[in-house]
């Protein structure tokens, strides 16, 4: 089965073609900005609208296919920013109507998890999903039903990194700048550390770090923030591992690109005799391949696609409800 997949819930617009579980092509383009307000939904929607057709034509051309070779469409239906979601939904609708194809509405976060199963050999993992909008520890029951064991009580790790980066004068997205600056630090700054059982809170840490602006070196602020934020995460992961008894652990989502975070988790997992699984960087941040692979996964679990007229998008959508269409 050949799937044409679209992603566009936030900063990245992507188009991918999947044949069964094989990723044939995975194209993406990310919106970045230096403006002080950060990412504006209207601008992101415009970014996606101006690129999606061109990316689709390129994906078909590069895999020597036409729309006649495609069996089903997959699109990211949420959660995400309203305006970009509308762009993806409209494009998916038009293309499915025009070619009489059905569609799989894919939950973006579920896709971030499932890509690990198909590209990193994951089958019994505690998933650590860290991104711009989410920080969650998840287990998949029967490979289909997410159970959230722990999460942030306020802002997501990626969002905290982006806010700190913005205030320090870096562009959006800011996680990679924080990582680069942290490498050049030479002083460890004590900061607030907030873990509550299986959950964590990043807002106090962020507020504290922001107050250090102008008083401490940017490198040291970045380093202190990262060390505290990641150590908090490691504590809840360790607790979740002992509770769930999972044999594998895997990082997914954009923040998982952070090398320091990867190393911390790898070390902790090895100490506990848990297998650390690594998803290729190409599939960590937002991408359309994960949307296509998730659609294949649903198809394999006997879940049927929907007709074009039933298309929808949901800016707010809990992962536990990913099959509520
Ligand atoms: P969500 O999955 O919650 O909808 P998202 O769609 O915004 O999130 P992702 O691509 O999954 O997007 O994650 C983006 C986040 O990853 C941003 O907050 C960005 O700063 C962060 N990020 C990217 N690279 C790094 C890095 N090297 N270190 C830390 N964070 C990073
Ligand atoms: Fe994402």
Residues 271 and 303 in one domain: no
Q: Is 161 in the pocket of ligand 1 (CB under 6 A)?
A: yes
Please state the atom number of ligand 1 nearest to the C-alpha of residue 9: 6
CATH number at residue 63: 3.30.420.40
Q: Is 254 in the pocket of ligand 1 (CB under 6 A)?
A: yes
Confidence of residue 68 (pLDDT cuts 50, 70, 90): very high
Q: Is 224 in the pocket of ligand 1 (CB under 6 A)?
A: no
Best probe residue, ligand 1, of 106, 175, 181, 284 (max atoms within 8 Å of C-beta): 175
**Would you say 122 and 114 are in contact if contact means Cβ atoms under 8 Å apart?**
no
CA–CA–CA angle 276, 282, 288 (5° rounding): 115
Residues 210 and 99 in one domain: no
Residue showing tokens 């294949």: 296
Domain assignment present for 117: no
> Which residue's C-alpha comes closest to atom 10 of ligand 1?
285
Domain assignment present for 116: no
- pLDDT over 90 at 85, yes or no: yes
- How many angstroms separate the alpha carbon of residue 7 from the centre of ligand 2? 9
Q: Is 133 in the pocket of ligand 1 (CB under 6 A)?
A: yes
Average the pLDDT over 164-177 and give the result: 94
Best probe residue, ligand 1, of 255, 257, 258, 262 (max atoms within 8 Å of C-beta): 255
Q: Is 7 in the pocket of ligand 1 (CB under 6 A)?
A: no
Q: Is 108 in the pocket of ligand 1 (CB under 6 A)?
A: yes
Residues 127 and 220 in one domain: yes
Residues 143 and 100 in one domain: no
- Sign of CA pseudo-dihedral 72, 147, 269, 219: positive
**Would you say 125 and 138 are in contact if contact means Cβ atoms under 8 Å apart?**
no
- How many angstroms separate the alpha carbon of residue 162 from the centre of ligand 1? 9
For residue 107, the cross-strand partners are 78
**Would you say 93 and 308 are in contact if contact means Cβ atoms under 8 Å apart?**
yes
Query: DSSP state, 313?
Result: -
Average the pLDDT over 183-200 and give the result: 97
Average the pLDDT over 234-254 and give the result: 98
For residue 25, the cross-strand partners are 17
Residues 87 and 184 in one domain: no
The pLDDT score that the predictor gives to residue 39 is 85
The pLDDT score that the predictor gives to residue 171 is 87
Report which of 78, 87, 128, 136 is spatially closest to residue 105, judged by C-alpha positions: 78
Q: In what order do the strands lie in the sheet with 12-19?
A: 22-30, 12-19, 2-7, 72-78, 103-107
Residues 294 and 267 in one domain: no
Count of domains forming the chain? 2
- How many angstroms separate the alpha carbon of residue 249 from the centre of ligand 1? 19
Torsion of CA 215, 219, 224, 229, to 10 degrees: 120
The pLDDT score that the predictor gives to residue 36 is 82
For residue range 102-152, what is the model confidence (pLDDT) as tens digits?
999 999 999 999 999 999 999 999 999 999 999 999 999 999 999 999 999
The pLDDT score that the predictor gives to residue 164 is 98
Domain assignment present for 49: yes
For residue range 250-306, what is the model confidence (pLDDT) as tens digits?
999 999 999 999 999 999 999 999 999 999 999 999 999 999 999 999 999 999 999
Q: Is 140 in the pocket of ligand 1 (CB under 6 A)?
A: no
- Sign of CA pseudo-dihedral 240, 252, 170, 223: positive
**Would you say 22 and 152 are in contact if contact means Cβ atoms under 8 Å apart?**
no
Domain encompassing residue 41: 2-111+284-321
Q: Is 179 in the pocket of ligand 1 (CB under 6 A)?
A: yes
Residues 292 and 207 in one domain: no
Ion ligand 2: residues, CB within 5 A, are: 131, 286
Cα separation, 158 vs 165, in Å, equals 10
């Amino acid at each position: 089965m050949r799937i044409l997949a679209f992603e566009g819930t936030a900063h990245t617009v992507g188009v991918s073609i999947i044949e069964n579980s094989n990723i044939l092509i995975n194209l993406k383009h990310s919106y970045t900005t230096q403006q002080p307000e950060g990412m504006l939904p209207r601008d992101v929607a415009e970014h996606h609208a101006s690129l999606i057709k061109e990316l689709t034509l390129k994906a078909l051309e590069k895999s020597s296919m036409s729309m006649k070779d495609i069996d089903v469409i997959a699109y990211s239906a949420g959660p995400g920013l309203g305006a970009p979601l509308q762009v993806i939904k409209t494009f998916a609708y038009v293309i499915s109507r025009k070619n009489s194809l059905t569609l799989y509405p894919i939950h973006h976060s579920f896709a971030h998890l499932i890509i690990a199963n198909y590209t990193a050999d994951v089958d019994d993992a505690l998933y650590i999903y860290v991104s711009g909008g989410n920080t969650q520890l998840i287990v998949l029951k029967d490979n289909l039903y997410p159970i959230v064991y722990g999460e942030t009580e306020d802002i997501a790790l990626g969002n905290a990194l982006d806010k700190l980066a913005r205030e320090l004068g870096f562009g959006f997205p800011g996680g990679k700048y924080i990582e680069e600056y942290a490498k050049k630090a030479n002083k460890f700054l004590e900061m607030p550390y907030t873990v509550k059982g299986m959950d964590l809170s990043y807002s106090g840490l962020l507020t504290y770090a922001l107050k250090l602006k102008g008083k401490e070196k940017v490198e040291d602020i970045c380093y202190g923030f990262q060390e505290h934020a990641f150590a908090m995460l490691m504590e809840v992961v360790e607790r979740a591992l002992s509770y769930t008894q999972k044999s594998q652990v895997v990082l997914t989502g954009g923040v998982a690109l952070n090398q320091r975070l990867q190393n911390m988790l790898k070390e902790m997992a090895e100490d506990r005799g848990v297998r650390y699984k690594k998803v290729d960087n190409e599939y960590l941040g937002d991408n359309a391949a994960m949307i296509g692979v998730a659609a294949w996964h649903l198809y394999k679990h006997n879940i049927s696609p929907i007709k074009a007229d039933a298309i929808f998008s949901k800016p707010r959508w809990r992962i536990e409800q990913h099959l509520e269409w």
